[in-house]
Structure 1
Amino acid sequence: MIIGLFVIGIGMLFLLDNLGWLDLDLRVHIVPTVLIGVGILKVLQTRTQSGVIVGGALIVVGALIMLKSLGFLHIDWRTLWPLLLIGAGVAVVIKSTMQRASPQQDGLSLDKDSSDNVINITAIMGAHKNRVLSQDFRGGEITAIMGGSDLDLRQASINGDAVLNLFAFCGGITIKVPVDWIVLLEGTPIMGGFEEKTMPPAAGSVPKRLILRGYVIMGGVEVRN
């Protein structure tokens, strides 16, 4: 529903501009509009505090660019980009403080030996590679924005089902799973794609299901075993 309403809104802006009822330079305004829309999707999709911070940062950046292009914010880029950099640093500090203060992640209690049962990976303009060895993997969240994440689960195990929330914006996510896992794709690609390259598990094996949900926007997700 959110995606449909966002597309309707973009279409209405184009229509009103073409009819001459609005005087918008969509070549300038489309970028901040996309950033705001992507940020809203991230906030609605995430289950972690760091995800809310990432989504909120996208919304703030998009709003600042929009206000500047509309003439409501009189500030030059030499002043604006240091403020954005300071905001990114504050977000990192807040995320680090939350992780140190809370022994829980995604509402699940974690002890020292099971810290990788639930993962929370964020890759922004960079690459993140991680190998999970947990024998009680329960899922988590992966965010890749103009970057990539490579998650290796081939030595992990699931007791039943695990749900992994994915969010890729102009980035890619690669997931490697064991041969006895069943992968279910429930995500929504927007100018992107989900690709599954797994072989079916052997007959008679105990079903272990990895459920992938989320959004892929101008990016890609690949799963293989």
Structure 2
Amino acid sequence: MSDQQTQFQQHFEMKIGQNRGPGFGFWFGIAMVIIGGGLLLDAFNLLEFGEIFDQWWPSLLMLIAVAQLATGSGSIVGSGIMFTIGALLQLSKLEYLPGGFWSAFWPIVIILIGISFISSRMRQQRWKKKEPFVDPNFIGTVDVEGSRIDRTAIFSATDARVVSSDFTGGELTAIFGGIEIDLREATMAGPMATIDVTAVFGGVEMRVPQDWRVVTKGTPIFGGIDDKSLNRNLTASSPTLIIDATAVFGGVEIH
């Protein structure tokens, strides 16, 4: 194995180790011990933990989101969504939302849609000199030759086939929509590339080359992240695709 490959593996293992470091697991374990202990005391009628937990359990989502950000084990988008949902649920429990959780949830979804449109326009301006302009909400299949793939589908669907020879990553956002990305004809510019994926009441499907190693991390909130690209014949020099996904009432699939 070459020195360059060895250095890359050490860097990759260090990076993954930091993202999944013991910090978050330690605090999550403490939270589970406290919850289990409280439920046990409740079973012996020594503490009305059930009522306390029923009133304040949404705060756990907020604490988990903060812990993820503090330990680097989750994405900013995923942790932010988890914190927001936890805050809305907690306000609803405390009866500060007269209309309930959903009365505040939908306005926030509209705000997120607006932010997605704004960020999509900013990404277009940033990359317009590097690749031909393509509407991120384009319905249909388009070949992407640039080094990045940035797509947003809001109440719509978009397909893209990446044929880049120097692929570096991208960002995919599906809100009440769907995105299908075919990476099987792409070649990475380096040993590693990262795609940030967000699916809110939507779905994102990706197809990757057989010789790519896929590493998934992220936050499913009433959603799923399904990696079906496992059990491949990989080598030490296989390029690595990191997929940092957030699925909220949505799904992310990798084939």
Change (3 A) 1:143 1:101: closer
Change (3 A) 1:74 1:168: closer
The 10-residue stretch of structure 1 (24-33 or 141-150) with the greater mean CA deviation from structure 2: 141-150
Q: Which of 25, 37, 47 is matched with 2:64 structurally?
A: 37
CA contact (8 A) 2:212 2:240 kept: yes
Aligned counterpart, 2:37: 15
1:100 is aligned to 2:127: no
- Larger strand percent: 1
DSSP 3-state at the match of 2:193: strand
Q: Which of 155, 166, 169 is matched with 1:136 structurally?
A: 166
Change (3 A) 1:97 1:221: closer
Change (3 A) 1:62 1:128: farther
1 CA distance for matches of 2:110 and 2:32?
32
Aligned counterpart, 2:97: 75
Change (3 A) 1:162 1:177: same
CA deviation map 1:59-88 (0-9, x unaligned): 12211212332x3x433335x523321122
Identity percentage over the alignment?
Answer: 21
Unaligned 5+ residue runs, structure 2?
A: 1-22, 133-143
Alignment of 1:166-205 (within 5 A): 174-179=205-210, 181-185=211-215, 187=217, 194-197=227-230, 199-200=232-233
CA contact (8 A) 2:228 2:253 kept: yes
Scaled by the length of structure 2, the TM-score of the pair is 0.56
1 CA distance for matches of 2:163 and 2:81?
32
Q: Which of 168, 176, 182 is matched with 1:152 structurally?
A: 182
Aligned counterpart, 1:161: 191
Superposition RMSD in Å = 4.7
- Once the two structures are TM-superposed, the CA of residue 147 in structure 1 deviates from its matched residue by 8.7
1:56 is aligned to 2:77: no
1 CA distance for matches of 2:131 and 2:254?
29
2 CA distance for matches of 1:185 and 1:209?
11
1 CA distance for matches of 2:239 and 2:205?
17
2 CA distance for matches of 1:122 and 1:7?
36
Letter in 1 for 2:90: M
Q: Which of 101, 104, 111 is matched with 1:90 structurally?
A: 111
DSSP 3-state at the match of 1:77: coil
CA contact (8 A) 1:137 1:162 kept: no
The 10-residue stretch of structure 1 (21-30 or 81-90) with the greater mean CA deviation from structure 2: 21-30
Structure number with greater Rg is 2
Unaligned 5+ residue runs, structure 1?
A: none
